[in-house]
Amino acid sequence: MKGKKFALNWVSAVALAGAGMSFQVLAEEDTIKVGVLHSLSGTMAISETTLKDTVLMMVDEQNKKGGLLGKKLEAVVVDPASNWPLFAEKARELIEKEEVDVVFGCWTSVSRKSVLPVFEELNSLLFYPVQYEGEESSKNVFYTGAAPNQQAIPAVDYLKKDLGVERWVLAGTDYVYPRTTNKILEAYLIDSGVAKEDIMINYTPFGHSDWQSIVADIKKFGAAGKKTAVVSTINGDANVPFYKELAAQGVEAEDIPVVAFSVGEEELSGMDTSALVGHLAAWNYFMSVETDTNDEFVEKWHAYIKDDKRVTNDPMEATYLGFNMWAKAVEKAGTTESEAVQESIIGVTVPNLTGGFATMMPNHHITKPVLIGEIQDDGQFVTVWETPDVVAGDAWSDYLTGSKDLFASWLKPMSCGSFNVTTGQCSGVAE
């Protein structure tokens, strides 16, 4: 473990020291095309449509500033319709047919996994703005959402240390993000002394609507005399009936709190939140954060969307950070060419909306604060806990066998997404 951390710190220091390098290569196109790859229909539209609008707002704002490299930005929007194989088809369409210079998109990890081979084959750039399970670092992907050590692990620590939780329900949608995150959390909990019988794990399909028996099982599990909490990786519109059933069966936050990793202001805006007050979410940004930068962002969002009631949320901030990092890297490189941007973006730092700064690290993850928020009856969050400083995203979990000895760095000459500090070998795809 010490070898992994030493190597990561060394590579990070070199990256930040060399962040001033640039490429003086001029693009020849008249416009710079920005691909938008988010579901506008299907089960994930509840979450992803807003991110499409966020990218369009960022493109509009950048054009008002004069564009990039003296050229206008043009957004190209497609709808993969919550269909995971279709994500790959639409990604190829954006890159090969539309010839976009960059893509902002995906929400679920299964959609990201679907498009990953396309971006690597065509050497294009994807900015992925949602919390995910880690265990990945591609030179073609920039992960601006939270890794597990920037959301899941701190949330469990909060529940354990601050609320005294001893029994754990790990409830998730049945796909790669919840399963891998829960695998990490289960290993972490057991390592910290939690007995296996005090961990209940449950998975349901996308769009699941009948929660009666599952919530009954959660109540029964929580009736063993130990403080119990639900750690939720339930995604998409299944959250609406889940929280409704919790309320219907009288599961209140003071008895069995739920901490969610995929429920933010946008999802809550479509719910009756009166019965959800006191339940929690772990993110890296809340709309309620009081900073001048956030106030300005919310004001611009309302003006752009022409609706003062529309909320902002964490994946929007991750999109905002990714877009600004990409724009800054393009300006440094003097081109939108993939190889040049991949090199120039390492070490790029931009203001986040919570008052600090986000930096793109050599593993293509960024630094982020971690916040725990409590749901209010107006659908907003009150921050009840936060890290004292930003946390650097870890691509490979310290708690899984086979991962704990790995770290990623796309800083030359290493350029490896999974370097094993024990063997001294790159076990992934090296440049």
Q: At residue 127, does pLDDT exceed 50?
A: yes
Q: At residue 18, does pLDDT exceed 50?
A: no
Would you call 430 helix, strand, or coil by DSSP?
strand
Q: At residue 383, does pLDDT exceed 60?
A: yes
CATH number reported for the structural domain that contains residue 62 in this entry: 3.40.50.2300
pLDDT-derived band at 9, boundaries 50, 70, 90: low
pLDDT at 21: 38
pLDDT at 236: 83
Residues 182 and 272 in one domain: yes
pLDDT at 29: 56
Is 346 contained in some domain?
A: yes
Residues 318 and 413 in one domain: yes
Residues 55 and 75 in one domain: yes
Q: Decide which of 283, 300, 317 is a domain's last residue.
A: 283
Whose tokens are 């190209």? That residue is 76
Residues 164 and 138 in one domain: no
Residues 302 and 279 in one domain: no
Q: Decide which of 283, 314, 338 is a domain's last residue.
A: 283
Considering 199-203, 241-245, 401-405, the range whose residues carry the highest mean pLDDT is 199-203
Residues 351 and 405 in one domain: yes
Q: At residue 7, does pLDDT exceed 80?
A: no
CA atoms within 13 A on the CB side of 174: 7
In the chain, the N- to C-terminal Cα span, in Å, equals 25
Share of the chain above pLDDT 70, in %: 92
pLDDT digits (tens, 9 = 90+) for 356-372: 999 999 999 999 999 99
Query: For residue 115, what are the domain limits?
Result: 2-146+292-368+394-426
Residues 231 and 362 in one domain: no
Is 388 contained in some domain?
A: no
Angle between helices 314-333 and 45-64 (to 10 degrees): 40
Is 248 contained in some domain?
A: yes
Q: At residue 27, does pLDDT exceed 60?
A: no
Is 376 contained in some domain?
A: no
Residues 93 and 156 in one domain: no
Residues 164 and 201 in one domain: yes
Q: At residue 260, does pLDDT exceed 90?
A: yes
pLDDT at 15: 47
Residues 129 and 155 in one domain: no
Mean pLDDT of the chain: 92
Q: Decide which of 231, 266, 283 is a domain's last residue.
A: 283
Q: 172, 181 in Cβ contact below 8 A? A: yes
Domain count, the chain: 2
Is 386 contained in some domain?
A: no
Integer Cα distance of 336 and 192 in angstroms: 46
Residues 409 and 278 in one domain: no
pTM for the full predicted model: 0.89
pLDDT digits (tens, 9 = 90+) for 69-100: 999 999 999 999 999 999 999 999 999 999 99
Is 385 contained in some domain?
A: no
Residues 254 and 320 in one domain: no
pLDDT digits (tens, 9 = 90+) for 269-291: 878 888 789 999 999 999 999 99
Is 389 contained in some domain?
A: no
Is 103 contained in some domain?
A: yes
pLDDT at 35: 98
pLDDT at 194: 97
| Strand 258-260 versus strand 228-233 pairing type | parallel
DSSP string, 132-193: -------TTEEE-S--GGGTHHHHHHHHHHHH---EEEEEEESSHHHHHHHHHHHHHHHHTT
